[in-house]
Structure formats: C-alpha cells, structure tokens
Amino acid sequence: MNILFLTTHFNTGGITSYVLTLGEALVKSGHEVWVASSGGNCVPRLEAAGMRHVTINIRTKSEASPKLWLSFGPLNGLIRKEGISIIHAQTRVTQVLGFFLSRATGAAMVTTCHGFFRPRWFRKMFPCWGASVIAISKPVARHLSVDFGVASNNIHLIANGIDLDRFVMTDEKMRRAARQKWGIADGPLIGIIARLSDVKGIDILIKAMPLVLKQVPSANLLIAGQGPEEAVLKKLVQDLKLTAHVHFKDTINQTQELLCAFDVFVMPSLMEGLGLSVIEAQACGIPVVASRIGGLVDLIEDGKSGYLVPVNDLSALADRIIKVLRDPQGSKVMAQQARSSTEQHFSANRMLKETLRVYEQYSRR
C-alpha cells in the first residue's frame, strides 16, 4: 500500500512523533510512505526510517490560505504518479487540502484528530473529515461526535503507540548516566517535556514549586521544550525567586535520553488529547502526576499507575509530587504498573495493526 501523510510542519512535537512511529512501522511492514510538510528538524529522522519527504509551503493556520491551493498541484501529481491509495491528514489545514486531493484523485482520505478543535462555523459547514477519522482517545472521540456531528461508525478509536524497544525501564545506572550527560545535579528531579504553550499548564507547575520545596528543599524542576510561552515562564520563575531550582532546556528530539533522569514526570495540562509524552514517561518507568482531564484519564489509573489531580489545583499537584518523591518504593511499584499498561495498550505494533485495518477498509486501490 502507498500512503501519503500530510502535516503542516515536521518539527519536534506530538504529531511529528506520531507520524514517525506509525510511518516507520508501515515501512517495516513493506508499505511505501511519503510525508508532505513544510519541513523541520525531524526530516532527517523521517528519511533515515525509510520514508520520503516532500517539501510543500503549507505552514499556516488558515484553511483559506493560498498555500493550500499552491500545494494542490504538486501533490495531485505525486498521488497519481506514485499510485497513492491513502491520504492521511494530521492537522485541520492539511485535512482541508487532503479532502480536495481525495476528491480529485480518488485516493481515500483518513484524518487523525490529535486534540480538540473550537467548533467554529467554518469547520461545521466544511468539515472535510474524509472517509474516516481516527480519534486518539475517548474524550476526542466524544468531541468529534458531540461538537461536530461525526457519525460514530466513521470514528475509529486508536490510541497513539510508541516503540517500546526505545523506551525501556530506567535503572539507577541509566539515571546516573542521563544526569551526567545533561549536566543535572544529584537530588530529586521533577520533569516535563512539552511545547511551552498555555494549554500545557506549565505555569501551574512552576507556581506549585514553592509548596514542593517547603517539604523537599533539594528538589529541582527541569522544563524541556520551546514555544510561545517561554519568555513568560522564565519571568515567572524569576518573579518567584526560583532560578536556583527551575531549569530550562531546549526541545529534545530523543526524549528517552532525558526521561531517564527524572524522578517524577508532571503533565499539568488544561487540555490534552491523549498525552504522548506521558506514555513515553510511563514506558521508561517514571512515575507520572497529571491533570484529570482529556485523554490523560485514559492513561492513568489514579493511585495505581500514577496520580491524577484536579486541573489548576496547585496544592493537589504539589501534594502528589511530594508523595512520589518521599515514597520511592511505592512509586516504583506504581511505575511498573504503568509500564505494563503501556505494553498492553500503547505499543507501536498495536497502533500499526489497528490503523492498517482502517486503511484497508477505505482504500480504493
């Protein structure tokens, strides 16, 4: 089968990780995969995995941007020349482009919905979902059905998967090596790897740190990522006089190399489609504290495979972080349970098999 992924860019992020993992698994299974995007820092990884990248100028948030129509011709030609049977769109903009490419070429279009859209009138009038929509979590599936009226038989619930050979249980030797590599001092380390956007709730985590430090004075927080809130978050750290305890690192491409250094991974999101970085942390045996919202509730059984806390609750967030740091043995048992759940429900192999079933159902060639 020949498959074309459409995405706006190919920089580090959740959608890029999804395409890399699924695309690599498809290639290993004997399928041909192309990815069309405006490019990014992860293109070399894509090509090393055996996929082919097509550069198109489509980095825009507007469904009405001329960039869509300028991209249409080259992609229309590619689909016809290579006999592509599946167009798999990853963003709202590429969803619109994919819809018209599907109509023009006869290739079936599949969309993956990675989160939540505002139900604007244009999206309701011109849904452009394609033949089938993959929802990455139960809350996202409900969102598609309730807010956009997508028929339930056109929604396929397929959670993100990860390559479990790359994300392995952390031991003390790995932890020491990771801390040495990244220049991290000894002591309890709280971590988050995420885009620095307001929906990730990183400001809430920073504001919770004084409460944590009252009980665990040697604790540090490491924030890895980049985004529009970076300057705001760094100023917040300065205003709270936390510069000795809160540290920033740029975007990490190979997240497993840094996850090993953490004692607890925190995801205090205000909105979350699923939480790929949480799955990766769980696979590495890192205890997780996360907001009780969106797809995060599909990943964590509170008190057994991690902790869920109310959204924007500084006290509850700090309390659970402290509990993890003060109870390493109990946290280890919890992390082992999370790893077992990840192996059962969130492997790349499972995602591949379930996605192929969708492709085969709708493929016209």
Q: Give me the domain span that covers residue 156.
A: 2-161+347-362
Q: What is the pTM of this model?
A: 0.90
pLDDT, tens only, 194-247: 999 999 999 999 999 999 999 999 999 999 999 999 999 999 999 999 999 999
Please check whether residues 8 and 92 belong to one and the same domain. yes
Tally the domains of the chain. 2
In this structure, are 281 and 243 located in the same domain? yes
The answer to whether residue 274 sits within a structural domain is: yes
- Is 166 domain-assigned? no
pLDDT in tens, 342-355: 999 999 999 999 99
CA angle at 50 for the pair 46 and 53, rounded to the nearest 5°:
50
Tokens at residue 256, please?
A: 């497993």
φ, ψ at 212 (rounded to 5°): -65, -45
Kindly state whether residues 104 and 196 are assigned to the same domain.
no
Closest by CA to 94, choosing from 38, 149, 138, 146, is 38
The maximal CA–CA distance of the chain, rounded, in angstroms, is 64
Over 70: is that where the pLDDT of 121 sits?
Answer: no
Tell me, yes or no, whether 118 and 233 share the same domain.
Answer: no
Please report the pLDDT score of residue 266 as a whole number. Answer: 98
CATH code of 96's domain: 3.40.50.2000
Statement to judge: residues 265 and 318 lie in one domain: yes
Q: How confident is the model at residue 365 (pLDDT cuts 50, 70, 90)?
A: very low
Q: Is 238 exposed, middle or buried (0-12, 13-18, 19+ CB in 10 A)?
A: exposed
